[in-house]
Amino acid sequence: MSRRIGDIDVSSAALSHRNETLPQLHSVGKPKKESILKEVGHTIKETFFPDDPLRSFKDQPASKRFLLGLQALFPIFNWGRQYNLSKFKSDLIAGMTIASLCIPQDIAYAKLANLPPQYGLYSSFVPPLIYAFMGSSRDIAIGPVAVVSLLLGSLIQEEFDPENDAHNYLRLAFTATFFAGITQATLGFFRLGFLVDFLSHAATVGFMAGAAITIGLQQLKGLLGIKKFTKNTDIVSVMHSVFGQVHHGVKHIEKGINPPSLHQIFFAGPHVIKGFRIGAIAGIIGLTEAVAIGRTFAALKDYPLDGNKEMLSLGTMNIVGSMTSCYVATGSFSRSAVNYMAGCQTAVSNIVMSMIVLLTLEFITPLFKYLPNAILAAIIIAAVVNLVDFEAMILIWKIDKFDFIACMGAFFGVVFISVEIGLLIAVCISFAKILLQVTRPRVALLGNLPGTTIYRNVQQYPAATRVPGVLTVRVDSSIYFSNSNYVKDRILRWLSDEEEANSKINLPRIQYLIIDMSPVIDIDTSGIHALEDLVKSLQKRDVQLLLANPGPVVVTKLHDSHLVQVVGQDKIFLTVADAVRACTRKSQEEA
Amino acid sequence: MSRRIGDIDVSSAALSHRNETLPQLHSVGKPKKESILKEVGHTIKETFFPDDPLRSFKDQPASKRFLLGLQALFPIFNWGRQYNLSKFKSDLIAGMTIASLCIPQDIAYAKLANLPPQYGLYSSFVPPLIYAFMGSSRDIAIGPVAVVSLLLGSLIQEEFDPENDAHNYLRLAFTATFFAGITQATLGFFRLGFLVDFLSHAATVGFMAGAAITIGLQQLKGLLGIKKFTKNTDIVSVMHSVFGQVHHGVKHIEKGINPPSLHQIFFAGPHVIKGFRIGAIAGIIGLTEAVAIGRTFAALKDYPLDGNKEMLSLGTMNIVGSMTSCYVATGSFSRSAVNYMAGCQTAVSNIVMSMIVLLTLEFITPLFKYLPNAILAAIIIAAVVNLVDFEAMILIWKIDKFDFIACMGAFFGVVFISVEIGLLIAVCISFAKILLQVTRPRVALLGNLPGTTIYRNVQQYPAATRVPGVLTVRVDSSIYFSNSNYVKDRILRWLSDEEEANSKINLPRIQYLIIDMSPVIDIDTSGIHALEDLVKSLQKRDVQLLLANPGPVVVTKLHDSHLVQVVGQDKIFLTVADAVRACTRKSQEEA
């Protein structure tokens, strides 16, 4: 029947009715106290095992569990059972396509890493085979990539000269590859995969663009046939070298498959630390690239990708690779894109590519002797030019200026200083942003949207109106030690500003301060103390504090700290509207 | 008239009415685009000038501005104009009281810093005088404090032996004091006062307790009259030394006021760096203590305290102190508490204390020769025993387990390793917590509180009911690179879990996913990409995405990135209730 009552009047009538009958229905919930063990367990689970990897093992007999474990470690035993001829046809075509792309790429990338060309081919033989058995992506194609090759090349030559001390250079390269694998496998094993997320999208865009420019500049050597070329990667040194003299020569490429190289890895002596440092950096960059590629294609085809499992398989393949004359391999973006376009179905395309590389190594490598330097340089430039993603940069500028600073920091760091410093700059800027926002959170002034019980930021909703005598603010962050004093001072500043403005136009003075706690997810002991100080300051000014919609953690902590007695249990409300109504009712009673 | 309509039925009728008429009233606000300069300016203002220090200078003639500037630098010219005899009486009594406390304390603390006793008295003469002119607190009493004295003592003796190389030891102490002042003044001048907040309450409690235990153990030397005592501050070394032999002797105390010491400061050579390192640490600890004390008393008496101005005055007093034979002084908690209790009105009580110290230095220091070591040790132990705040530790344990870990990290670090390492541990743990919470934010499941249009966390409000076919979640953090993938995966996991549960009990499948964006204050480019991936994944599963209550920054970024077209402008709602209604209405139309 109430539906028949006329237009706009109803809503306010209905609302005022709601205002008086409903609040008794619900009070602010105080969650049951969880034991500390349960709490810690929950944090650990969400940090390290958000994907609940053992879920499928539950309530299974031992034999089934063994099979599931085997399938978890080697996904090929899982998808292999549904493998059929039609899938193989697709994989065969895709594998042949990427093989034709990979052979010149491998030779070119090996040059970037200052290694003889056959090592690029070796790295496209063993690692893809291992990945095919252990990896969970269906689209990634494995092999050396430009950025990691450049990184290895520039870091190792700081220790050994690639021409005069080629033997030690090679040994350090295998050592770095070994430790890259160890780093990757360790991160995966300890489920620290989320650390890869610490390299933000913006930082990656900047880093890749910087690396591409650096690699491109290095190719001027091959393209222009310059003999004496700088080993520094920064733009100034390279430009100095460009104006030089001409040279020609194509190196001989060894025939035959990967020789063993376990005995060449430094396991003792001063080079272990160096190998570890270089390997850890190369391993993390490799991971970042592979995980980003894996995620992209997994989202396109909508299948799950387990980041930690990926790391474990990438790590294993690099550890084995370091013992079979390979240098760091990872998921290659250009190869994976071609693989996907050519219609690959499973990781079998990697096996096909690997077999073609095997045949190449056995029979046709001598032919590559006649591949000119200029062509190799052109191949690399063509591959890296797409890494400079102007569109992404423009979008980053439009969306988030701070991200853009991180992106440019990475870019200029790589171009003008070094690959490592560029990365470090980007990671630091990204974290500085998070810390800055936690240190200086917004404290928004709220107003009522006319005709509703909704309270919103007056900056975003200019129509929102303020209630006389009541100041409503919302703290837009959890309250931690790093912002607790700021939040308290900011709220008091709003109050002073309001009182000053009110006194000018003879409005009634502020009697109530309502804090909307909705975005305050957590509060620590410093935050509790700041709230306590706030209550004291407000009492001095004869202003009442009311809290609206505190979350479960905050409610628990308010009770544990007995701050709830200081504020008053009856001053905590389910919604801002409820709190405002309590204020206005009290004012009316007093009047 | 609607008010007369009966009980509970009305509310739902009224609500259903509201549901159909009100949403047209307001749409999600898109704030006007601010220029980049304005945006950056706002960030800088809130980071460095949240207190708007130049506000009072606005619209003032030049002469007035000069006066205001002078008053800003020397607050004594401001409050001095209202100073009167009755205030002076209070300050005189308070000053005499703290002087009687400070003289034995000074002698004892100088021993902690391995300095001759008169240097403690010197440090209670010059610095309080300067603070009285520049400081903004009315209650702080200035002088050497136990923790900073211990810190200086333990750090400087790593470089020079205080007994065999007393001259250089003293020089390094002045150098450290000079740089402590420089550090403090620089932080204040560049308005970096907020950095002091990075030492959380929990870390401070743990650090102070650890320092108190360390200092107390050191006193066993004087208390038991042991001659050969370890110089290490850790508990193991001290216990070894305790079981030793007996000694007696009270040193001679120099008569006369502070000699100049500018020429003794190391301004060149290898000791400058060491002095700087020690000074920076001592300066920051000193600041933390002074600012904490200043804030406590300012809150009690409700007057404003300018953290940056405090730093500038503390810094100036220590720079001048280092040139007049003082070592690092700061606000002392025990002295300030006595000052407050004795009824101090202004910083004049510091001047009174300073004058009494002056008289002491000139006339009665020789008498202190007969002050036994055991008494000095007892004075120190009595002063530091209150620094072990068990109640605060228990409260920290109750409120926040992570804070407790930081507190214990600081405590055990100081007791078992060193003062510096203890501090470092505490700061690192505190930041790790913030980063962990930003990396793994809660994603809560929401339900409708029956009889209202309010949606709340079902964990906190078990009465909240779910709407069939609709999954409503709330992301409890801004979406950044470090959590964007987790948030996306977590939402998809909720969806899978729900679908699995629904299929078991034959409930309709989930058709709509509503994300309550209220706590999502900001989103960066990685977050935008994650949302885009989420939309794609949901499309594959035939689930519609709806967003509720995005804030001003998020709305702007959704538009800038054109993600708003992907999601659909009509899929963004003012409240969760509006979004749910749109879903149910659409379902009814389809049915």
Position B237 scores a pLDDT of 67
Identify which of A26, A52, A526 has the shortest CB distance to residue B201: A526
CB contact under 8 A, A26 and B461: yes
Chain A residues lying within 8 Å of B439, measured CB to CB = 47, 194, 197
In 3D space, the residue among A547, A530, A435, A537 whose CA is nearest the CA of residue A492 turns out to be A537
Instruction: List CB contacts of B290: < 8 A, sequence separation 6 or more.
Output: B140, B310, B314, B330, B331
Distance from CA of B428 to the nearest CA of A (A): 13
A201, A204, A437, B480, B537 from B523: Cα distances, Å: 12, 17, 11, 6, 20
Summarised one tens digit per residue, pLDDT across range B130-143 is 999 999 899 999 99
Residue of A nearest to B8 (CA): A21
Position B3 scores a pLDDT of 28
Identify which of B31, B198, B482 has the shortest CB distance to residue A434: B482
How far apart are alpha carbons B492 and B129 in whole angstroms? Answer: 65
3-state secondary structure of B548: strand
How far apart are alpha carbons B256 and B324 in whole angstroms? Answer: 13
Position A353 scores a pLDDT of 95
How far apart are alpha carbons B568 and B571 in whole angstroms? Answer: 5
Q: Produce one character per residue of B77-108: b if its CB has 16 or more CB atoms within 10 Å, e if not.
A: eebeeeeeeeebebbbebbebbbebbbbbbbb
Distance from CA of B547 to the nearest CA of A (A): 16
3-state secondary structure of B331: strand
pLDDT for residue B531 is more than 50: yes
Instruction: List CB contacts of A519: < 8 A, sequence separation 6 or more.
Output: A474, A475, A476, A477, A478, B518, B519, B521
CB contact under 8 A, A14 and B18: yes
CB contact under 8 A, B521 and A454: no
CB contact under 8 A, B476 and A540: no
In 3D space, the residue among A377, A107, A103, A373 whose CA is nearest the CA of residue A216 turns out to be A377
Identify which of A26, A202, A302 has the shortest CB distance to residue B540: A302
Q: Are strands B142-143 and B330-331 parallel, antiparallel or unpaired?
A: antiparallel
CB contact under 8 A, B402 and A524: yes
Summarised one tens digit per residue, pLDDT across range B191-245 is 887 777 777 888 888 888 888 888 788 777 667 766 666 666 676 666 665 554 4
CB contact under 8 A, B29 and A540: no
A74, A544, B456 from A567: Cα distances, Å: 58, 9, 23
Structure tokens at B522: 């900001």
Chain B residues lying within 8 Å of A537, measured CB to CB = 299, 302
Structure tokens at A382: 């063509």
Chain A residues lying within 8 Å of B561, measured CB to CB = 395, 398-399
Residue B460: Cβ-neighbour burial (10 angstroms; 0-12, 13-18, 19+): buried
How far apart are alpha carbons A543 and A583 in whole angstroms? Answer: 11
Check residues B13 and A240 and name the one with the higher pLDDT. A240
B33, B146, B496, B523, B576 from B552: Cα distances, Å: 10, 49, 31, 11, 17
Position A15 scores a pLDDT of 38
Per the DSSP assignment, residues forming a β-bridge with B516 are B474, B548
Chain A residues lying within 8 Å of B528, measured CB to CB = 399
How far apart are alpha carbons B458 and A268 in whole angstroms? Answer: 57
pLDDT for residue B365 is more than 80: no
* pLDDT level of residue B15 (50, 70, 90 thresholds): very low
DSSP state of A257: S
Identify which of B17, B452, B518 has the shortest CB distance to residue A25: B452
Range from B232-241, B270-279, B577-586 carrying the lowest mean pLDDT: B232-241
pLDDT by residue for chain A (591 residues), tens only, comes to: 232 222 323 233 333 334 443 444 577 777 776 677 777 787 777 777 777 777 777 777 888 888 888 888 888 888 888 899 999 999 999 999 999 888 888 988 898 899 998 999 999 999 999 999 999 899 999 999 988 998 898 889 889 999 899 999 999 999 999 999 999 999 988 888 777 777 788 888 888 888 888 878 877 766 776 666 666 667 666 666 555 443 444 767 778 888 999 999 999 888 999 999 999 989 988 998 898 888 878 877 877 778 888 999 999 999 999 999 999 999 988 889 889 989 999 999 999 999 999 999 988 877 776 677 777 778 778 777 877 889 889 988 988 888 899 899 989 998 888 777 887 888 888 888 888 878 888 899 999 998 888 999 998 898 999 888 999 999 988 898 888 888 998 999 899 888 888 888 888 889 999 999 998 988 988 899 899 989 988 998 899 999 999 988 899 999 988 899 999 989 999 999 999 999 988 888 877
Chain B residues lying within 8 Å of A560, measured CB to CB = 398-399
Identify which of A433, A525, A537 has the shortest CB distance to residue B299: A537
Share of chain B above pLDDT 70, in %: 90
Residue A8 CB-half CA count within 13 A: 5
How far apart are alpha carbons B185 and B309 in whole angstroms? Answer: 9
pLDDT for residue B389 is more than 90: no
Position A186 scores a pLDDT of 93
Position A54 scores a pLDDT of 72
How far apart are alpha carbons B396 and A200 in whole angstroms? Answer: 34
DSSP state of A260: P
Structure tokens at A547: 């809290």
Identify which of B295, B454, B528 has the shortest CB distance to residue A399: B528
A449, A451, A462, B289, B542 from A12: Cα distances, Å: 12, 6, 20, 54, 39
Per the DSSP assignment, residues forming a β-bridge with B307 are none
Summarised one tens digit per residue, pLDDT across range B427-446 is 888 888 888 878 888 899 99
CB contact under 8 A, B22 and A436: no
Q: Are strands B142-143 and A572-573 parallel, antiparallel or unpaired?
A: unpaired
Position B16 scores a pLDDT of 37
How far apart are alpha carbons B413 and B432 in whole angstroms? Answer: 17
Amino acid at A41: G
CB contact under 8 A, B302 and A540: yes
Summarised one tens digit per residue, pLDDT across range B395-407 is 889 888 888 998 9
CB contact under 8 A, A560 and B528: no
Position B236 scores a pLDDT of 67
Distance from CA of A564 to the nearest CA of B (A): 13
Summarised one tens digit per residue, pLDDT across range B353-362 is 999 999 999 8
Summarised one tens digit per residue, pLDDT across range B159-190 is 999 989 999 999 999 999 999 999 999 998 88
User: Residue A346: enclosing H or E segment and its boundaries?
Assistant: none
* pLDDT level of residue B251 (50, 70, 90 thresholds): low
Distance from CA of A309 to the nearest CA of B (A): 16
Can you say whether residue B74 is alpha, beta or left, with left for phi > 0 and alpha for psi between -120 and 50 degrees?
A: beta
CB contact under 8 A, B522 and A437: yes
Residue B156: Cβ-neighbour burial (10 angstroms; 0-12, 13-18, 19+): buried
Q: Strand A544-548's sheet: what is its strand order?
A: A455-457, A443-448, A470-475, A512-516, A544-548, A572-573
CB contact under 8 A, B25 and A477: no
Q: What are the DSSP calls for B62-95, one per residue?
A: HHHHHHHHHHHH-THHHHGGG--HHHHHHHHHHH
DSSP state of A362: I
Position A517 scores a pLDDT of 93
Position A22 scores a pLDDT of 42
Position A266 scores a pLDDT of 92
In 3D space, the residue among B496, B554, B492 whose CA is nearest the CA of residue B528 turns out to be B554
Residue of B nearest to A436 (CA): B47
Structure tokens at A445: 């002034």
A78, A134, A137 from A70: Cα distances, Å: 9, 10, 17
DSSP state of A519: T
Structure tokens at B247: 């000694």
Q: Which of A291, A458, A526, A556 is the best mutation test for B, with the most CBs of B within 10 A?
A: A526
Position A265 scores a pLDDT of 92
Structure tokens at B244: 């030793």
A493, A502, B44, B189 from B52: Cα distances, Å: 10, 20, 11, 14
CB contact under 8 A, A202 and B525: yes
3-state secondary structure of A515: strand
Chain A residues lying within 8 Å of B50, measured CB to CB = 440, 486, 489-490, 493
In 3D space, the residue among A206, A107, A208 whose CA is nearest the CA of residue A148 turns out to be A208
Position B274 scores a pLDDT of 93
Q: Has this prediction a pTM greater than 0.80?
A: no
CB contact under 8 A, B25 and A434: no
Q: Are strands A470-475 and A512-516 parallel, antiparallel or unpaired?
A: parallel
How far apart are alpha carbons A285 and B332 in whole angstroms? Answer: 51
ipTM value, please give it: 0.79
Chain B residues lying within 8 Å of A457, measured CB to CB = 29, 551-552
Backbone φ and ψ for B168, nearest 5 degrees, come out as -65, -35
Please answer whether residues A425 and A409 qualify as being in contact, where contact means their C-beta atoms are separated by less than 8 angstroms.
Answer: yes
| β strands within B358-475, DSSP E | 443-448, 455-457, 470-475
CB contact under 8 A, A481 and B197: yes
Q: Are strands B470-475 and B572-573 parallel, antiparallel or unpaired?
A: unpaired
How far apart are alpha carbons A310 and A141 in whole angstroms? Answer: 13
Per the DSSP assignment, residues forming a β-bridge with A465 are A448
Distance from CA of A526 to the nearest CA of B (A): 5
Range from B14-18, B263-267, B270-274 carrying the lowest mean pLDDT: B14-18
CB contact under 8 A, A435 and B434: yes
In 3D space, the residue among A468, A564, A199, A513 whose CA is nearest the CA of residue B398 turns out to be A564
CB contact under 8 A, A521 and B200: no
Check residues B13 and B160 and name the one with the higher pLDDT. B160
3-state secondary structure of A146: helix
Chain B residues lying within 8 Å of A454, measured CB to CB = 26, 574-575
A45, B212, B237, B312 from B410: Cα distances, Å: 27, 12, 19, 28
Backbone φ and ψ for A127, nearest 5 degrees, come out as -55, -45
Identify which of A403, A462, A480 has the shortest CB distance to residue B524: A403
Position A171 scores a pLDDT of 95
Structure tokens at A426: 């980007």
In 3D space, the residue among A477, A456, A473 whose CA is nearest the CA of residue A465 turns out to be A456
Structure tokens at B53: 């220090």
Position A198 scores a pLDDT of 78
Chain B residues lying within 8 Å of A575, measured CB to CB = 454
Q: What is the dihedral of CA B465, B467, B471, B473, to 10 degrees?
A: -40
Q: Produce one character per residue of B39-52: b if its CB has 16 or more CB atoms within 10 Å, e if not.
A: eeeeeeebebebbe
Count of Cβ atoms closer than 10 Å to residue A229 Cβ: 18
In 3D space, the residue among A465, A479, A560, A564 whose CA is nearest the CA of residue A518 turns out to be A479
Please answer whether residues B17 and A10 qualify as being in contact, where contact means their C-beta atoms are separated by less than 8 angstroms.
Answer: yes
Please answer whether residues B280 and B179 qualify as being in contact, where contact means their C-beta atoms are separated by less than 8 angstroms.
Answer: yes
Q: Which of A16, A22, A301 is the best mutation test for B, with the most CBs of B within 10 A?
A: A22
How far apart are alpha carbons A493 and B164 in whole angstroms? Answer: 55
* pLDDT level of residue B373 (50, 70, 90 thresholds): confident
